[in-house]
């Protein structure tokens, strides 16, 4: 760059209200007369600062100045074109070591979900500046995204920062070190921490404590989804009365909540309170006559009341709404089994086509085929089971055990 142009650009910086706009105007006029390499570079820089990224790229591509690659990378970065940003940053870094450019390269790799490349950049940055806190934080996240939780923990422990306690708890949780995760997270006292503590206790088979911490989460954020989570843990662990009580709270706020009505009906089915199952399913159908889960629950319930015809009718209604429900095809099979074995098999075949990896459906069908002395069917479905689940270890004899009693 000539001394004259340098002085003019410096003057814009000192005295102009719009230094970059003035510089751009001046440089464009200058290039018309004398299109020098340095003029293109300075114009590209000014356009970048002025956030005119496309035009900046156009002029920077006309210069041979090695620094242009860095600015081109920044232009593409600002345009969120990360592959091109990476290409230009790498071109610049072949000849130069620059902490700022290397940082942008790392972030570009992160934006592109190229975690290994981002880690390589981060490690190089730590060689340049071992005390770089933000890069260590980025490395924690990169290793986390690669599920390299031990490596994340290494950087977390190096930083020993209270702000990273939740992240440390997450890493310990993912390493299945649940007790340690709980101890770390107890000091965090945020919604997310309480939820993760709850999951940790659930994995430790301590449902009461899992429920306690979800209740703390609900105090932080009184949201219906948390109540559903509490009810689900209660349901899975046989605390059906508690599950129903929580769901009734949801219905107090929203009497037409389909999810709550359905889950209450499921709890009553587990408790074998069949009249209440029917009552809540009927309420559910008043809210939404096309709720196929209501028909599924009712078709499961009526056989207990010795009414297979009603169960069959309801399963067929449900299948009109959702013919892709393997569960409804199974319920139809059981409703029809006492009177039509061939139709029972066809219904199970439908369910198996929809869920070819469902081992339980195969084993039940095989067992009942053997019970009905249809060994040809039993062997056929056993072969299919082995085809779809080669890891299945039980022999045909084990699957059909007691079917001949």
Average pLDDT over residues 336-362: 94
Cβ-based neighbours of 156, under 8 Å, separated by 6 or more: 140, 164, 167, 168, 171
Closest CA to 224 of 187, 255, 249, 203: 249
pLDDT over 90 (residue 10): no
Burial of 258 (0-12, 13-18, 19+ CB in 10 A): middle
pLDDT in tens, 125-161: 999 999 999 999 999 999 999 999 999 999 999 998 8
pLDDT in tens, 77-111: 999 999 999 999 999 999 888 999 999 999 999 99
Longest dimension (CA), the chain: 105
Q: Does residue 328 have a pLDDT over 80? A: yes
What is the reported pLDDT for 276?
98
* pLDDT recorded at residue 95: 84
Write down the pLDDT at residue 161.
85
Residue 352 tokens read as: 């198996």
pLDDT at 1: 45
Cβ atoms of 72 and 60 closer than 8 Å: yes
The pLDDT, as a whole number, for residue 404 is 55
For residue 368, what are the CA distances in angstroms to 62, 300, 344, 359, 362?
79, 18, 10, 14, 10
Residue 208 burial (CB count, 10 A) = 12
Q: What's the pLDDT at 150?
A: 97
238: region left, alpha or beta (phi > 0 left; psi from -120 to 50 alpha) = left
| Token pair of 110 as six digits | 């992160």
* pLDDT tens string 47-77: 998 899 999 999 999 999 999 999 999 999 9
Measured distance CA(327)–CA(381) in Å, rounded: 18
Contact 285, 294 (CB under 8 A): yes
- Residues of the chain with pLDDT > 70, as a percent, come to 94
Distance (Å, whole) CA 88 – CA 92: 6
Using alpha carbons only, give the angle 183, 184, 190 rounded to the nearest 5 degrees.
Answer: 110
* Residue 210: band (very low, low, confident or very high) from pLDDT cuts 50, 70, 90: very high
3-state secondary structure of 12: helix
Stated as kind and residue range, the H or E segment containing 15 is helix 3-15
Of the listed ranges 7-11, 221-225, 234-238, 318-322, the least confidently predicted one is 7-11
> What's the pLDDT at 12?
45
Mean pLDDT, the chain, whole residue set: 92
Question: Using CA atoms, how far apart are residues 300 and 312, in angstroms rounded to an integer?
Answer: 10
What's the 3-state SS for 255-310?
CCCHHHHHHHHHHHHHCCCHHHHHHHHHHHHHHCCCCHHHHHHHHHHHHHHCCHHH
Residue 188 has pLDDT above 90, yes or no: yes
CA 365 to chain centre: 35
**Alpha-carbon gap, residue 56 to 317, rounded angstroms:** 65
pLDDT tens-digit readout, 19-48: 677 778 888 888 888 888 888 898 888 899
pLDDT for residue 339 is more than 50: yes
Give the confidence band of 405 by pLDDT, cuts at 50, 70, 90.
very low
Q: What is the mean pLDDT of residues 330-342?
A: 94
Mean pLDDT in residue range 180-200: 96
Q: For residue 13, what pLDDT is reported? A: 53
pLDDT at 11 over 80: no
Query: Who has greater pLDDT, 66 or 8?
Result: 66
Query: Could you give the CA distance from residue 367 to residue 35 in angstroms, rounded to a whole number?
Result: 87
- Provide the pLDDT for residue 141: 96
Query: What's the rounded mean pLDDT across residues 243-255?
Result: 96
In this predicted model, what pLDDT tens digit does every residue of 357-371 receive, in sequence order? 999 999 999 999 999
């Amino acid at each position: 760059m000539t001394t004259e142009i340098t002085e003019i650009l410096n003057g814009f910086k000192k005295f102009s209200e719009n230094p970059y706009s003035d510089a751009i105007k001046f440089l464009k006029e200058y290039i018309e007369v004398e299109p020098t390499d340095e003029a293109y570079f300075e114009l590209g820089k000014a356009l970048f600062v002025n956030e005119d990224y496309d035009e900046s790229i156009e002029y920077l591509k006309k210069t041979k100045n090695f620094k242009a690659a860095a600015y081109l990378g920044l232009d593409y970065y600002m345009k969120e074109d990360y592959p091109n940003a990476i290409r230009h940053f790498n071109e610049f870094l072949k000849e130069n070591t620059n902490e700022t450019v290397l940082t942008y390269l790392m972030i570009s790799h992160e934006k592109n979900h190229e975690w290994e490349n981002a880690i390589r950049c981060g490690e190089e940055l730590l060689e340049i500046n071992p005390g770089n806190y933000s890069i260590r934080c980025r490395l924690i996240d990169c290793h986390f995204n690669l599920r390299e939780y031990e490596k994340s923990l290494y950087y977390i422990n190096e930083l020993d920062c209270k702000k990273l306690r939740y992240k440390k708890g997450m890493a310990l949780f993912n390493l299945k070190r649940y007790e340690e995760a709980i101890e770390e997270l107890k000091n965090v006292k945020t919604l997310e921490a309480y939820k993760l503590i709850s999951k940790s206790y659930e994995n430790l088979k301590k449902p009461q404590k899992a429920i306690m911490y979800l209740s703390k989460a609900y105090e932080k954020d009184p949201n219906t989804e948390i109540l559903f989570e509490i009810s689900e843990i209660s349901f899975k662990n046989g605390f059906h009365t508690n599950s129903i009580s929580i769901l009734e709270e949801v219905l107090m706020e929203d009497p037409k909540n389909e999810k709550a009505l359905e889950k209450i009906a499921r709890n009553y089915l587990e408790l074998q309170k069949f009249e209440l199952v029917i009552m809540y399913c009927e309420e559910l159908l008043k809210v939404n006559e096309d709720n196929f889960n209501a028909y599924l629950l009712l078709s499961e319930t009526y056989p207990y009341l010795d009414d297979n015809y009603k169960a069959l009718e309801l399963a067929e209604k449900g299948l009109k709404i959702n013919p892709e429900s393997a569960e409804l095809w199974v319920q139809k099979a059981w409703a029809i089994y006492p009177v039509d074995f061939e139709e029972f098999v066809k219904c199970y075949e439908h369910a198996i086509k929809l869920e070819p990896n469902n081992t339980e459906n195969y084993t039940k069908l095989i067992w009942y085929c053997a019970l009905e002395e249809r060994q040809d069917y039993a062997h056929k479905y056993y072969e299919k089971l082995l085809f779809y689940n080669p890891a299945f270890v039980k022999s045909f004899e084990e699957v059909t055990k007691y079917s001949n009693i």
